[in-house]
A and B are shown apart, each in its own frame.
Chain A
Amino acid sequence: MTHALDVFGWFDNEYDDDGFRTCSVTGFDVHRTVENHVKLFGVTAVVFLLIGGLFATTVATTRWELIGLLEPGDYYKHLSMHAWSMLLFWIVFMEVAILYVGGPMVLGRKLPLPSLAKVGYVVMIAGVLTIYYAIWTASGNPVADNAPLLTAYVPLEVNPLFYAGAIVYIVGIVVAALPFFLTIWYEKRENGGTLPLVTFGAFVTGIIAVEALVGGLVAFAGALAYNFGLAEWFDAGVYRQWFWIIGHGTQQINLVAMIVVWYLFTHVLAGAEVVSEKVSRTAFILYLFFINLGAAHHLMVDPGLSVGWRVWNTSYAFYGATFASLVHAFTIPAGLEAGRRKRGKGGGLFGWLTSAPWKNPMFSTSIFAIILFGFLGGITGVMMGQLQLNMSWHNTFATVGHFHSTVVLGTTVTFMGVVYFVIRTMFMREFVSSKLASFQPYLYCSAMAVTALMMMYLGILYGIPRRTAEVVRNIPRTDFSLIEAAPLFNVFGVFALLAITGGALFVLLAVGSLLFGDRIEPGGNGDLVADGGLEMATDPEDPVHAYEMRGTFVLCLFFLGVFVVAYALNWFLLTQLWSIGA
């Protein structure tokens, strides 16, 4: 039944009398309420990706000072728009959709209280619009009305509406997440038993999200009070601690959410299995306890914090989460390797990889994300999280390179795959061009990887600061400049524009397929189903842990080797410096 307002036919799948249909790819019993809200949040997310991408163009071509597109005042506004659109809007709207997939869709349940999802959606949008307004109308007067950037550090004078908008946005997210938590509650009460791994991971994601969001509420409410002169004590140092609970915490939501997607997609699209429930679940539990301490990494070179506090929080507490990531770095590819060997698709050391469905953009995005997140984002994150190494990374362009490796090469790439998946299996549309859809992840990931690497080189080797409109060719009021970095910036600029082209191609494919893609009839997604189907995974007589994982082992050893070398190089550079510190 098509709703009168549904002019594109986006919400018109056929459901049975109870409102369910069976997905021919995953075997999920999908309820109408779940599917429609996944579509709603997913499509909205793509709009923010488009907005953020437009600002990526202006921001990148300003930092590439050969072009130097924007004046400084405009630059900081555009940078704020880019950061909030991408980090908070595109990604979080996707994450709400992923919670609905990981919870009610995997469990074959209705979305409880769908009205809450709608209220949450509207409140989130209200927050988004308020934030956009506050950013866009900032006069740029340094003592009155600054662009907030991502962080809006107290006591920088920022329009109070910005903090208010952020609070509204956060409340909206929590409301939108409630149906997910209710799902888990009902499932445990009615069926008991162990949750499927994907749902378990999504649940952990949800808890980490709420922790981060509550931190954000305190940060922004405190900043608002400070702004009105009501809380003098909520100063720079206090704000930084609270802000980074959400500032970094949201990135931890990304991390756990994308790991959930990796388990789901490698299984559904390529026949991966869980090699050890015990190990994978323990890793999720480690995240639950330790990953929010990643926030402490932002305070490594801050005054006022003791050495003990910093060393403990970034290392021992945090390595609980680092270890968890090392665990997933093995278990996900190992699941793919063992699962594909079981299906007869894995000759030799890497046959399981070479025979995988590389033309399927949902699969390739996940694998590229695993590799690039691990090598570029994960390794650099642990390095810059060391007390001393942080001195050479903090607030340089290298930091920007690090988080473009985690948030873009990891999360955005993974979520692009999710959008492709939603288009094919929920909107039931063919891609307008399956060749371009296959090609897009290759273009985007390779160009973005070079861009991120260039950012890191520029930051570490030339000390290029982040968050500045101009520093390479000219610094006002001095003859000094960082002109030696100009050639590398040319490489950065070209690849950034290539990456943006890859991102634009994604938006074109997504929107084009939604509007003009051929409709897929029920059962018509057979080409997506993993080799050998999914039933094999439930055969108790054929346990997956008994299959070979030597290819994964070799890959992981290579990864550890790169890690050790990169670590040693960073320390070598640091020890070349003059002596500093008590």
Chain B
Amino acid sequence: MTSPIKPPKGNWWDQPVNRRESIWLGLGVGWALVLFGWMSAFTRIGDQNPIGETYRVTEDELREKVDAFKDAAEEREDGAYVPDGDDVFVVGQRFDWDGLPVVLETGREYDFHLSSYDVQHGFSIRPEHALSQQINLHVMPGEEWVVPMEFDEPGTYHVLCNEFCGEGHRGMHGTIIVEEGSQ
């Protein structure tokens, strides 16, 4: 009757369910609704969403775009690019990040164009002063993902690769220098 290794006899579907079990089922449904509701609502009201337009792109097109970005940018003495507009290109390749280092301002929204020339990489960014504040996005060849970001604290932000891309993977590092904005 209630053995898991014997076929249940009679009308087992209509057997009563213990009251506490029913309460738990209700709690489970309620919690699943909360999980869904919050995630869904946060895409509208929240400030941290992995959302942006994606465009198909070939390696050659991408190289042209990144070169144009670097040409238009002012190159500082330390080799860092100060972008001309609000677009920033960060493109992974074995084993560094093209487009970095870059100098950005706080309080200004930039469109990050994330992609890869060769294989899959992981865009993993954190400020040097607070390692627990980190964001991780996946980057793939053939797809240019435009994700807006606006920094509110100045500092040096480090980008590591966190998807295995070959034996030199561990040295794939770049920096984003965020300075106090003029506004």
Chain A positions within 8 Å of B, measured between CB atoms, are: 26-28, 72-73, 76, 106, 140-143, 146-147, 149, 153, 155-156, 193-198, 235-237, 240, 263-264, 267-268, 272-279, 300-304, 307, 311, 314-316, 319, 322-323, 326-327, 330-331, 334-335, 338, 382, 386-388, 390-396, 460-463, 465-471, 475-478, 480, 482, 484-485, 534, 537-540, 543-546, 549-550, 552-553, 556, 560, 563-564, 567, 571, 573-582
Smallest Cβ distance from A397 to chain B, in angstroms? 9
CA distance A258 to B137 in the complex (A): 32
CA distance A480 to B158 in the complex (A): 8
* CB atoms of B2 and A480 under 8 A apart: no
Smallest Cβ distance from B30 to chain A, in angstroms? 10
Chain B positions within 8 Å of A, measured between CB atoms, are: 1-10, 12-18, 20-21, 23-25, 27-29, 31-32, 35-36, 38-40, 42-43, 46-54, 94-95, 109, 114-115, 118-120, 122, 124, 126, 128, 131-145, 147-153, 158, 160-171, 173, 175
In the complex with contacts A196-B6, A471-B170, A463-B24 CB distance below 8 A: no
In the complex with contacts A395-B122, A468-B169, A545-B18, A275-B2 CB distance below 8 A: yes
* CB atoms of A560 and B31 under 8 A apart: yes
Q: Which residues of B contact A471 (CB under 8 A)?
A: 160, 170
CA distance A304 to B8 in the complex (A): 48
Smallest Cβ distance from A344 to chain B, in angstroms? 17
Residue on A nearest B37 in the bound complex, by CB: A315
Which has the most chain A C-beta neighbours within 10 Å: B2, B8, B140, B143?
B2
* CB atoms of A236 and B94 under 8 A apart: no
* CB atoms of A28 and B5 under 8 A apart: yes
In the complex with contacts A194-B8, A480-B128, A580-B135, A279-B39 CB distance below 8 A: no
Smallest Cβ distance from B100 to chain A, in angstroms? 11
* CB atoms of B52 and A198 under 8 A apart: no
CA distance A116 to B35 in the complex (A): 45
* CB atoms of A576 and B3 under 8 A apart: no
* CB atoms of B50 and A301 under 8 A apart: yes
In the complex with contacts A237-B140, A326-B24, A463-B134, A386-B126 CB distance below 8 A: no
Q: Which of B27, B43, B114, B126 contacts A311, CB < 8 Å?
A: B43
Q: Which 9 A-B pairs have the closest CB atoms?
A: A142-B166, A581-B49, A303-B145, A465-B162, A476-B171, A463-B134, A537-B3, A326-B28, A579-B47
CA distance A484 to B23 in the complex (A): 46
Q: Which residues of A contact B152 (CB under 8 A)?
A: 578-579
* CB atoms of B43 and A153 under 8 A apart: no
* CB atoms of A386 and B35 under 8 A apart: yes
Smallest Cβ distance from A500 to chain B, in angstroms? 23
Residue on A nearest B22 in the bound complex, by CB: A279
In the complex with contacts A273-B2, A395-B163, A466-B162, A476-B170 CB distance below 8 A: yes
In the complex with contacts A196-B5, A322-B32, A467-B163, A580-B47 CB distance below 8 A: yes
Q: Which residues of B contact A386 (CB under 8 A)?
A: 35, 39
In the complex with contacts A26-B5, A198-B5, A311-B39, A387-B49 CB distance below 8 A: yes
CA distance A146 to B163 in the complex (A): 13
Q: Which residues of B contact A194 (CB under 8 A)?
A: 7-8, 12
Q: Which of A387, A390, A553, A578 contacts B24, CB < 8 Å?
A: A553
* CB atoms of B134 and A475 under 8 A apart: no
Q: Which residues of A contact B173 (CB under 8 A)?
A: 475, 477-478, 480
Residue on A nearest B150 in the bound complex, by CB: A579
Q: Which of A263, A272, A395, A545 contacts B136, CB < 8 Å?
A: A395
In the complex with contacts A468-B169, A581-B51, A537-B2 CB distance below 8 A: yes
Q: Which residues of A contact B21 (CB under 8 A)?
A: 275-276, 279, 330-331, 334, 545, 549
Residue on A nearest B16 in the bound complex, by CB: A545
CA distance A292 to B64 in the complex (A): 40
Q: Which residues of B contact A275 (CB under 8 A)?
A: 2, 17-18, 21
Which has the most chain B C-beta neighbours within 10 Å: A235, A465, A485, A534?
A465
* CB atoms of A142 and B48 under 8 A apart: no
Q: Which residues of A contact B14 (CB under 8 A)?
A: 278
Q: Which of A268, A311, A475, A544 contacts B40, CB < 8 Å?
A: A311
* CB atoms of B170 and A470 under 8 A apart: yes
CA distance A275 to B1 in the complex (A): 10
CA distance A331 to B2 in the complex (A): 12
* CB atoms of B2 and A303 under 8 A apart: no
* CB atoms of B114 and A540 under 8 A apart: no
Q: Which residues of A contact B120 (CB under 8 A)?
A: 153, 155-156, 236
* CB atoms of A327 and B25 under 8 A apart: yes
Smallest Cβ distance from B77 to chain A, in angstroms? 18
* CB atoms of B17 and A394 under 8 A apart: no
* CB atoms of A391 and B136 under 8 A apart: yes
Q: Which residues of B contact A578 (CB under 8 A)?
A: 133, 149-153
Which has the most chain A C-beta neighbours within 10 Å: B124, B161, B164, B173?
B164
Q: Which residues of A contact B17 (CB under 8 A)?
A: 275-276, 278-279, 545
Q: Which of A27, A28, A304, A580 contacts B54, CB < 8 Å?
A: A304
Q: Which residues of B contact A326 (CB under 8 A)?
A: 24, 28, 31-32
Q: Which residues of A contact B48 (CB under 8 A)?
A: 388, 391, 574-575, 577, 579-581
Residue on A nearest B9 in the bound complex, by CB: A540
